[in-house]
């Protein structure tokens, strides 16, 4: 059996070190992917919490529940009720923009974004009790340019 030279031992050491680095990179990539999944879940949970709080007020709160009932029966809202309803609508718009931005940042998965987007569109644009194009056009500077383009594209389909 031939005795190995120092150069041969060094080559074996380099191979071992390379394997160690590759394994470490694999663990790092797995950790990053897992962290991204956790961030996406956190953003989704945040949206569920925010919308749940808003719906709790609409369906059981002392201010928005009667307004919702009036809207459903076709009654006119007084000035205070209109203001409260507008505040609610813009809260939902803020949540929509949050979902839009988190998706753009890669913190909300495509399938979750598509689901949230359909939900917000149904609540605010397709529903006549939501956000009218007239009210939207009166508030052009409230939202970021990308989100504004997104909403304008939806209104242009309607």
Per-residue pLDDT at 158: 63
Domain contains 26: no
User: What confidence tens digit (pLDDT) does each residue in 56-82 have?
Assistant: 887 777 888 898 889 889 899 999 999
Dmax (CA) of the chain: 98
Distance CA 89, CA 123 (A): 9
Domain extent at residue 90: 39-157
What predicted TM-score, i.e. pTM, was given to this entire model? 0.74
- Domain total of the chain: 1
Q: How far apart are the first and last CA of the chain?
A: 83
Domain contains 27: no
User: What confidence tens digit (pLDDT) does each residue in 2-39 have?
Assistant: 788 888 888 888 888 888 888 888 888 877 777 777 77
Neighbours of 94 (CB within 10 A): 14
Domain contains 31: no
pLDDT at 93 over 90: yes
Per-residue pLDDT at 21: 85
Per-residue pLDDT at 72: 86
Per-residue pLDDT at 64: 86
Cα-to-chain-centroid distance, residue 52: 15
């Amino acid at each position: 059996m031939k005795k190995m030279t120092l150069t041969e031992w060094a080559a074996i050491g380099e191979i071992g070190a390379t394997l160690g680095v590759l394994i470490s990179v694999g663990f790092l990539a797995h950790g990053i992917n897992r962290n991204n999944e956790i961030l996406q879940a956190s953003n989704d949970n945040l949206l569920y919490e925010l919308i749940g709080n808003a719906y709790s007020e609409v369906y059981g709160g002392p201010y928005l529940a009667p307004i919702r009932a009036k809207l459903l029966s076709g009654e006119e809202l007084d000035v205070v009720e209109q203001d409260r309803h507008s505040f609610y609508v813009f809260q939902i718009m803020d949540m929509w923009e949050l979902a839009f931005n988190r998706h753009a940042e890669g913190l909300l998965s495509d399938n979750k974004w598509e689901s949230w987007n359909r939900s917000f569109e149904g609540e605010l644009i397709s529903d006549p009790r939501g956000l009218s194009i007239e009210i939207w056009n009166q508030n052009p500077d409230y939202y970021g340019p990308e989100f504004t383009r997104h909403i304008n594209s939806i209104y242009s389909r309607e």
